[in-house]
Amino acid sequence: MLFGICYVNLASNACFSVLASFFDKVSEDHGASKSEVGFIFAIFAGINVIVSPIFGYLIPIIGINFMFISGMTLAGGCALLFSCVDLLHGRLMYITFCIIIRSVQAIGCSMYFTTAMTILSVTWGQRLSLAMGFYEISTGLGMIIGPLLGGWLYSVGGFALPFYVVGGMMLFGAILNLFLVPTIETGEVESGSIIDVLKSPGVLITSLMQLVTWSGMDFNIPFLEPLLAQSGVSGASNEVLVGILFMIMAVAYIVISPIAGLLSDKYDTKATMVFGNICIAISYALLGPADCFKMGNATLTTIIISMVILGVGLAAAIVPSMADMVVEAKRSGMSDTIGTEAIVGGYFNSIVFLGEFLGPVIGGCLIDKYNNIITATSIFGFGALVVTIFAMICYLGLHLYRRFPCPGYREEYSEEEISSHLSNSMASTLAKSGTFGPRQYSLSISMHTTAYPQ
């Protein structure tokens, strides 16, 4: 099951990034401006921010398995359809159809990303951070494979071939997961409430942390190549060097992800996330590098070190985040049902895509304002550090409030009660009927109710 979900995550990340190496040039040939191309990219994240919580609410109504497979099928079909946009004549028609297809693809993406988070949360329970470690390995692999595969396929078969391949990968993932993912019956489970999620102080603090994290993931996309050129790094005009640098970051991300999952399971999710965000702040301060380091101009060595630290920080900050949000939502009083895990999964994806949207936007605005890449990276690094310290203080305050509560305060459920219940419920609710297949492997949780110790 984990293999099937990781494959889809790899295929989807390859699908998103496959056009990075050639789409800008093709769009320019069709008369699209840089801002219009940027909007075609940004609309994907914008749609996900809006619809992910909606699908989180609808999961118990529509059904997990149906939404999961339908989302993959829709996204794969849109990838195949996108192969035709190069045949369109006229700037307006080209831009319009690109936006429409990317928007529909974003809806499919939101469907399977939200359900994937829910499936992992339900089936892995208190070991969710470990599962997310392996899940994020596939994210890093997709980040590496997508641009390389896209550039090679484009050179071999033109505009359409990359989309044939990634679309086929997504549709194959839909068929594969029919047999690998257990059938999860939602039955009479009620949908979770996004208002209840937003009432959880722990979830809100982690959301702030994740906005910094995911902004850091994409902040340097618009200016890494100009930074290389500005610093006089040999070969900076070669786009291959930029691709290699992002590959270095992705490799560090892949290596650290399972380690971050193990450490956060064994020790503490919040400490792991704080460490990750501090690494992200340091990496951007070092990327310039900032004047405080007194290192002179950036060199290829300092940029490589910065990208490695960024990959390590991203893995440490991202891997434990979903598990932390689920636990915090239940500690705030939300019921221990699939409805809660679904709405938290949808909310989590919304935060992810909001951060990915904000990163390049903030980067572009800072560069426009100061007309200096080093200043922009230094400001972002300093801002990330300030927000992380603020979140760390909030975590500490929340911990002290729970440890030394005011008279009359009682936490709904402790973390130990939730962890113990997750272990027991996973042992008692998983049921295999023998052979693998879409209807032979079931998980019965529809009528499950929780009785935590009082």
Instruction: Provide mean pLDDT across the span 375-388.
Output: 88
Most confident residue range from 150-164, 200-214, 223-237, 260-274:
200-214
Say whether pLDDT at 123 is over 70.
yes
> Above 90 in pLDDT, residue 390?
yes
pLDDT at 378: 84
* Summary mean pLDDT of the chain: 80
Q: Can you tell me the distance from the alpha carbon of 343 to that of 114, in angstroms, rounded to the nearest whole number? A: 8
Q: Give the C-alpha separation, 412 to 410, whole Å.
A: 6
Burial grade of 341 (CB within 10 A; 0-12, 13-18, 19 or more): buried
Question: Which span out of 37-41, 381-385, 424-428 was modeled with the highest average pLDDT?
Answer: 381-385
Domain ranges of the chain: 1-187, 192-407
Tokens 């007194």 map to which residue?
Answer: 294
pTM of the shown model: 0.78
Four-way CATH pick for 192-407: 3.40.1190.20, 1.20.1250.20, 2.40.10.330, 3.40.50.170:
1.20.1250.20
For residue 439, what pLDDT is reported? 28
- Taking each helix axis as running N to C, give the angle between helix 239-266 and helix 300-318, from 0 to 180 degrees, rounded to the nearest 10: 40
Query: C-alpha dihedral over 381, 382, 383, 386, to 10 degrees?
Result: 120
Among 3-7, 184-188, 374-378, the range scoring the smallest mean pLDDT is 184-188
Between 50 and 2, the more confident residue is 50
The better pLDDT of the pair 296, 228 is held by 228
Residues in CB range of 307: below 8 A, 6 or more apart: 245, 246, 248, 249, 252, 283
What is the distance between the terminal CA atoms of the chain, rounded to a whole angstrom?
35
Per-range mean pLDDT, top range of 76-85, 135-144, 357-366, 414-423: 76-85
Q: Tens digits of per-residue pLDDT, 317-362?
A: 998 998 899 889 988 888 878 888 888 888 998 998 898 888 877 8
For residues 349 and 285, give the distance between their C-alpha atoms in angstroms, rounded to a whole number: 28
Domains 1-187 and 192-407 belong to one CATH topology? yes
Specify the CATH architecture of the domain 1-187.
Answer: Up-down Bundle (1.20)
Q: What are the tokens at 92?
A: 């307006």
**pLDDT digit string (tens) for 212-266?**
999 888 777 667 767 777 666 655 445 667 777 888 888 898 889 889 888 888 8
pLDDT at 422 over 50: no
Amino acid at 347: Y
In the chain, % of residues over pLDDT 70: 82
